[in-house]
Amino acid sequence: MVEFYAEGITDWTSLATQEVPESLRDHPTTVLVKARQNGVEVSRRVDLTALCQPDLTPLLLTSPSTVYGTSTLNLVVDVVELNSRSSNGLIQVYLAKDTLFSLSFDPATTLVVGRQVQNTVWQFDATSNESFYILSTRGLGAGAKVSVRLSGQLRPGNTKGRLSISALVMGSAIGELQLTNNSDADLVEYFNK
């Protein structure tokens, strides 16, 4: 049998999964974690900082994914908090601009293709950055999701090809430390009519 110990979290136990107490989640630090089996004990200090901060990830849905000639594109970006930690700082989503399409934003939109969106809590900036559209909102509950919908015209002219649309979520103002899951992309195939 393997037993585990985590300083300030649990005494020796055979249960490997433990909940970090709120006092440590609110003020994360390093803790000593030990494991033992048949008289052999190993230990390591674990930094709880990254585990106790909000972790945001975007999920991008582009519809349709295949178009013929000039077509309307709908984009829905879900921003999801994965670490069960609420945030109250500025959250920004960057969508890369492309010469083949332009996006617009309707703050009154609440539903698109049967999906609820919360456009009323988002601010849309199409002009301050020449490379990106920037969407901004404040705060996200622990484990919560907030969604936004944009639409635009894809104008491929007499060309055909593939267009990659990407979204990047930035939450540095809220202590976002997990940077490996902060982007998503969709591919749209387009053909001339």
Q: What is the pLDDT of residue 177?
A: 65
159-165: average pLDDT: 93
15-39: average pLDDT: 85
- Given a cut of 80, whether residue 173 has pLDDT beyond it is no
Contact 25, 49 (CB under 8 A): no
Q: What is the pLDDT of residue 17?
A: 83
171-193: average pLDDT: 82
Instruction: Read off the pTM.
Output: 0.77
Architecture of domain 56-191 in CATH?
Sandwich (2.60)
Q: What is the pLDDT of residue 89?
A: 84
The model's pLDDT over 50-92, given as tens digits with 9 standing for 90+, comes to 677 888 999 999 999 999 999 999 999 999 998 888 887 889 9
Which pair of tokens denotes residue 143?
């484990």
11-32: average pLDDT: 84
Beta strands in the chain (DSSP E): 3-6, 10-13, 30-37, 40-47, 56-63, 66-68, 71-81, 87-96, 101-104, 111-112, 115-116, 123-125, 132-140, 145-154, 161-170, 183-191
User: Whole-number mean pLDDT of the chain?
Assistant: 89
- Given a cut of 80, whether residue 120 has pLDDT beyond it is yes
173-181: average pLDDT: 72
Q: What is the pLDDT of residue 174?
A: 65
Predicted confidence band of residue 113 (pLDDT cuts 50, 70, 90): confident
156-171: average pLDDT: 91
- Given a cut of 70, whether residue 4 has pLDDT beyond it is yes
Q: Where are the alpha helices (DSSP H) in 44-87?
A: none
Q: Higher-confidence residue: 95 or 29? A: 95
Domain-by-domain residue ranges, the chain?
Answer: 3-52, 56-191
Predicted confidence band of residue 184 (pLDDT cuts 50, 70, 90): very high
- Cα separation, 108 vs 117, whole angstroms: 10
